[in-house]
Amino acid sequence: MMAGTVRRILGDLAGRSHRRTIDLLTQQLDATVKGVDLAAELAAGRIAPADARVRMGEVEHEGDSRRAALVAELAKTLTTPIDREDLYRFSRSVDDVLDNLRDLVRETDLFGMAGDPVDLPALEAVREGVVALRDAVAELSGSPARVQDGAMAARKAAGRVRREYQTSVAALFRQELRAGILSRRELLRRLDVIGLRLNDAAADLSDALLKRGH
């Protein structure tokens, strides 16, 4: 027990615990990128909703396992790149992005709808935002300025999601009332929520970095 504690302390002092934390966050974000890509495949009509739903379950499991590993790491490590509570909050917001991507795919299948290519610009913005966060996380032990740049890029991407959502809803409301309009409205709202959760994750990371600087 004592030897293990000493090894843990030495590892923390050498920065290995920071690397482990960053690696786990990166893996969680990688799983989220996979979720975005799968939702985009559905929107583009390259995969059927039922098949996308099954595959998204696998992606979600991957993301959940990475988050669980991160939480376990935070519980035992002595030092972290930023406050451990802030890391937990950021990871939770990233998890919310993937959860809502899961719900977008699941609800498309449940509502008996097909993927809609109109969603592709918004999903591309989500992808860019998640990748920006992944790049920012890689700089947590290095350049604070690059972390902030990545968080800002993710927030701008989230803003694009909101604008794409508003444009799509406006176009939907100009159509004649028909079967599927309400279902489509719900799916667009889910897409908007994905953007909101992306913005939350970016804000969590930015706020955590500011706190570290005080």
CA pair distance 85, 72, nearest whole angstrom:
13
Hey, CA dihedral for 83, 89, 93, 98, is it positive or negative? positive
CA pair distance 32, 68, nearest whole angstrom:
15
Residues of the chain with pLDDT below 50 are: 1-14, 214
Locate the domains of the chain by residue range. 2-213
Tokens of 202: 């970016």
CATH no. of 2-213: 1.20.58.220
Find the helix packing angle between 84-110 and 16-43, rounded to 10°.
20
Can you give the pLDDT at residue 13?
Answer: 41
Spatial contact of 187 and 113, defined as CB atoms under 8 Å apart: yes
CA pair distance 189, 143, nearest whole angstrom:
36
Can you give the pLDDT at residue 103?
Answer: 98
In the chain, DSSP assigns E strands to none
Can you give the pLDDT at residue 143?
Answer: 79
